[in-house]
Chains A and B, each alone.
Chain A
Amino acid sequence: MASFLLRRILIALLSIIGASIVLYAVLALAPGDVFGELVSNPGIPPDVIANMREKLGLDQPIHIRYVNWAMAMLQGDWGYSLVNRVDVGQLIVQRIPATLMVVGTAQILALAIALPVGVLAAMRPYSLFDQIASTLAFIGFSLPTFFTGLLFILLFSITLDWLPFIYRSDLEQTGGAWIWAQLRQSIMPVTVLALFQAASWTRYVRSSVLEVIKLDYVVTARSKGLPERVVILKHVLRNALIPVVTMVALELPVIFGGAIVTEQIFRVPGIGSLLISSIMANDTPVIMAVTFVFACLVILFNLIADLLYRWLDPRIKLQ
């Protein structure tokens, strides 16, 4: 287990390096100049700019610049937000909890919907329940999150006036009232994300359970006289969940993409809305850092999924 863990972490680190190379290459290939505004300013003589370039190491070849940048990132020097006038690292640390809260709760809710619905649908394939569930699942993942979000606002905030449509991080209430307000404002962003995920996961769970439920060992378990509940929960589900974990891991980039959209719609102060607002404000250091953080998050959760996979399926051996 220890060597497996070590290898997996090593692969994750390599992926992070790979992702950072891709990001840096994109930035370096981009046309335009960091000093664009300074160069066009007639008040600054060209040799001053040349000096600044040299000081910042911008006249060096690209691989040296990449290494410098990577070393700075490693030491926690993530740059300075030109718009917010704080360190980028500090800004991201402020914003990350909201994102993880919304995404995390949404995943739990999605699983809480997808697991029972998928299993029940697979237990009676092509029944009425299965057909309704499958159709709803299709509708669910064909509805883009930005449209569901707007529909929710239209229905629950504007028409019914039940829920606030702006997420606030500075709630005035304290104690129980704070929890209530927090809950009320989280419902829509979390549900929008969760429904989308639940829809696609229901299909994975269903097809995966459907494959396992036909296997001989399940028949054996049934013929031993085990109650159906035990057969499903202890025998079928454990094996059926293994491919589901992989699919969930593969969908992580989509999940975080959906988080950007929901954060933007409901104005959740997470790193997704930070990314959009810094793009609007041309705040390159923040944009680079947030994209990198998203890449790291995806790789981190991939690692967790791998470990889960291994725990669920001891047969898997890494060569």
Chain B
Amino acid sequence: MSVGPAAEPAAPTTWQRFRQHRMALVGTVVLGLLLTVVLLGPLIWSVPIDTIDFRARLALPSAAHPLGTDDLGQDLLARLLYGGRVSLAVGLCAMLVAVVIGTLIGAIAGMSRGPLDAFLMWVTDLFLALPTLPLLLLIIYLFRDALTGLVGPEVGVFVLIIAVVGGLRWMPVARLVRAQFLTIREREFVEAARALGASRLRQVVQHILPNALGPVIVVGTISVAEAIIAESTLSFLGLGFPPDTPTWGRILFDAKDFLSIAPHWALFPGLAIFLTVLSINFIGDGLRDALDPRKVR
């Protein structure tokens, strides 16, 4: 867990502190397993996700279908593995979008005193007060068809969801980065760099940013979980990925009307989302303990 060149002496202690958080370790293992299964599973379980088999309609878990089948007799394990890739990819990419936008805005606000800082923080506060889910739904409703026509339904929805989920989640990062910048830029080593004639960009990239990253990593980790929930929510409302892309939320959406006859259909994707989000949250909590030296357990 290295944080950057400036955190050099703290690096081993960070890992030690992280290791002390037992649930974070469990979370890391569980997430690692989930990732392995989702990434390598399709190599072993090579059943296609869209083979329709009406004889095995809504079948309970069995040897032929370890997690059962849906109303078209499609194998749920294969669909879950496929959907997991999409859900996790959405979570990671949306987090990256949020962290990049947030860091950029936070850094600009933190480096420029005065009206630009005030304006950027006003925008941040405004975005924080926007109702995220209704806005997400509105944007997807308005833009989906156009993007779908441009790059195809799957890629279009993928890009749109990443952009919108990430684009509505940068605010906490921006606030954090700004607060970090405001304190770090006054520290002696930055002053020394300034005195040595380092340009503003060099000050930021070489000296301030690496030291501001700790809390950003924590928020970034947790925002992966939030983005996965956001994508699942959209798909669960029937407004995310198209039916032939079985993300976890989409499988739940299809399964919810068959709850009484085929509960397994809804339980497995729900559990997958829950386990992923829970382990990411525990990892985030462990990282918070590890990266925040003020916190004493």
Contacts and interface: CB of A to CB of B under 8 A. Distances in A.
Interface of A: 15, 18-19, 22-23, 26-27, 30-32, 135, 138-139, 141-144, 146-147, 150-151, 153-154, 158, 250, 253-254, 256-257, 260-261, 264-265, 275-276, 279-280, 287-288, 290-291, 294-295, 297-299, 302
Contacts of B252: 146-147, 150
Nearest to B266: A150
A287 B131 contact: no
B120 to A, nearest CB: 14
Contacts of A19: 126, 129-130
B134 A144 contact: no
B196 interface: no
B233 interface: yes
Contacts of A30: 142-143, 146
Contact of B270 (A15, A150, A287, A295): A150
B128 interface: yes
A276 B238 CA distance: 9
Interface stretch (B73-81, B108-116, B207-215, B277-285): B277-285
For the complex, would chain A's binding face be called helix, strand, loop or mixed by DSSP majority? helix
Contacts of A153: 259
A287 B237 contact: no
Interface in B256-297: 256, 259-260, 263, 266-267, 270, 273-274, 277-278, 281-282, 285
17 contacts: A22-B135, A30-B142, A30-B143, A31-B146, A32-B145, A139-B278, A144-B229, A146-B236, A146-B249, A146-B252, A147-B274, A150-B270, A256-B131, A260-B237, A261-B237, A291-B135, A295-B130
Given A19-B129, A144-B233, 11 more contacts: A18-B126, A26-B135, A27-B138, A144-B277, A146-B236, A254-B132, A256-B134, A257-B233, A276-B137, A279-B137, A299-B129
- Lowest 10 A-B CB distances belong to which pairs? A257-B133, A30-B142, A142-B278, A31-B146, A294-B131, A147-B270, A142-B277, A291-B134, A294-B134, A146-B236
A298 B130 contact: yes
Contacts of B278: 138-139, 142
A19 B125 CA distance: 11
A136 to B, nearest CB: 12
Contacts of A158: 259-260, 263
Contacts of A142: 225, 274, 277-278, 281
B126 A15 contact: yes
B141 interface: yes
Contacts of A265: 256
A298 B146 contact: no
A145 B295 CA distance: 31
Nearest to B279: A142
Interface of B: 23, 125-126, 128-135, 137-139, 141-143, 145-146, 225, 229, 232-233, 236-239, 249, 252, 256, 259-260, 263, 266-267, 270, 273-274, 277-278, 281-282, 285
A256 B135 CA distance: 11
B130 A260 contact: no
A287 B138 contact: yes
A291 B131 contact: yes
B141 A279 contact: yes
A241 to B, nearest CB: 21
A154 B229 CA distance: 21
Nearest to A143: B274
Contacts of A288: 138
Pick the most buried of A257, A265, A295: most chain B CB atoms within 10 A of its CB: A257
Nearest to A27: B142
Contacts of B270: 147, 150-151
A318 to B, nearest CB: 14
A282 to B, nearest CB: 8
B131 A298 contact: yes
Nearest to A297: B131
A86 B249 CA distance: 33
A294 B129 CA distance: 10
Given A146-B232, A150-B266, A15 B134 contact: no
A151 B137 CA distance: 24
A157 B134 CA distance: 29
Contacts of A15: 125-126, 129
Given A279-B141, A291-B135, A144 B129 contact: no
A147 B145 CA distance: 28
B137 A138 contact: no
Contacts of B259: 150, 153-154, 158
A294 B274 CA distance: 27
A261 B233 contact: yes
Contacts of A257: 131-134, 233
A267 to B, nearest CB: 12
Contacts of B137: 260, 275-276, 279, 287, 291
B142 A32 contact: yes
Contacts of B134: 256-257, 260, 275, 290-291, 294-295
A139 B275 CA distance: 9
Contacts of A276: 137, 237-239
B274 A144 contact: yes
A295 B239 CA distance: 20
A79 to B, nearest CB: 15
A257 B23 CA distance: 29
A297 B131 CA distance: 9
